[in-house]
Amino acid sequence: MRKILFGILIFSASSIFAQYPQKSISNGLVEANLYLPDAKYGFYRGTRFDWSGVINSLKFKDHEYFGEWYQQHDPYRHDAITGPVEAFDPIDYATAAPGEKFMKIGIGILKKVKNEPYGFSKPFEILNYGNWKVKTKKDRVEFIHTLKDDSGYSYIYKKTVRLVEGKAQLILEHSLKNTGQKSINTSVFNHNFFVIDNQNTGPNFLVSMPFKINSEPARKSLMSFVDNKMIYNRDLKKGESTMEYPKGFTGTNVEDYDFRIENQKTGAAVRITSNRPLSHFMYWSVPTTLSPEPFIKIDALPGNEFTWAITYDFYTIDKK
């Protein structure tokens, strides 16, 4: 009887998530599944993260890299999202009065509610969703978000999630064309949300970067910094989290944007690099997910286009 009930629950959960628009891609080495943006039926309809490129599963050599890390899904919750998703800093929020507009790239034009500091966890009304177009091939999905608004801000934002032929490699290719009258000056960070083989966050994970860390961890009982490595002292327990700000990068060198996560128990590993300098870096984790959060600055004058790319190389290491 218990097996039957469990089977019903699994089937019900599968049915619920199957309702969201999605697309699977493969290059023969890596397989990934992406949720597609949709204002009515999308998996994510919140106002924190860019709606494009939401990956809920990526598999390489029987290893899983992404997935749901939270207990209950709500499409409007700010962090009910999976995969290497990105968030842009709000534009004109600080100068807008309550009831006036501000912008978040990859979401649209939003309305400020109160005269208080911006909070990413707060829901905002979307006044202008813009227009999403999605183009798919067997190994890639291209998202195009076109926004035209009387605020003076308009853009064409393109993001392509592409698996490279013959390689265990995923590339996120971006371009932002400023088609409005106002300059677009912001920053974007990738939250990543790794869920590697459903392993609990702890000492089995080794996180490294190309620069020597010259700061101390905020919670020394949970993490230690040794040269260029972040080491967990023990498994994280329910309710525990890390929020670290490792220092040591230059802020100008592309080479600083180079992070590795390796699981010593399962052998799953990934390297993340970019063709733009790392402008800021945070690291957040809870028992179910770990997230290096690298930032990139974006400057696009009217008529200009800003491009950047983030590359994921998936590999395996010997188990310990």
Q: What is the CA radius of gyration of the chain?
A: 20
Is residue 147 assigned to a domain? yes
Q: What is the DSSP letter of 41?
A: T
Is residue 14 assigned to a domain? no
pLDDT in 10s for each residue of the chain, 320 residues: 444 444 444 444 444 556 899 999 999 999 999 999 999 999 999 999 999 999 999 999 999 999 999 999 999 999 999 999 999 999 999 999 999 999 999 999 999 999 999 999 999 999 999 999 999 999 999 999 999 999 999 999 999 999 999 999 999 999 999 999 999 999 999 999 999 999 999 999 999 999 999 999 999 999 999 999 999 999 999 999 999 999 999 999 999 999 999 999 999 999 999 999 999 999 999 999 999 999 999 999 999 999 999 999 999 999 87
Is residue 12 assigned to a domain? no
Strand pairing category for 229-232 and 205-208: antiparallel
d(CA 298, CA 88): 9
CATH code for position 310 = 2.70.98.10
d(CA 230, CA 70): 24
Residue 126, strand partner residues: 110
d(CA 228, CA 211): 6
> In total, how many domains does the chain have?
1
Is residue 115 assigned to a domain? yes
Is residue 45 assigned to a domain? yes
d(CA 159, CA 86): 11
Reading the block at residue 235, the tokens are: 């498994």
d(CA 284, CA 307): 26
Taking the CB of residue 53, how many other CB atoms lie within 10 A of it? 24
User: Residue 134: is it exposed, middle or buried by C-beta count within 10 angstroms (0-12/13-18/19+)?
Assistant: middle
Identify the domain containing residue 272 by its residue range. Answer: 22-320
d(CA 14, CA 30): 22
Is residue 299 assigned to a domain? yes
Is residue 13 assigned to a domain? no
Is residue 145 assigned to a domain? yes
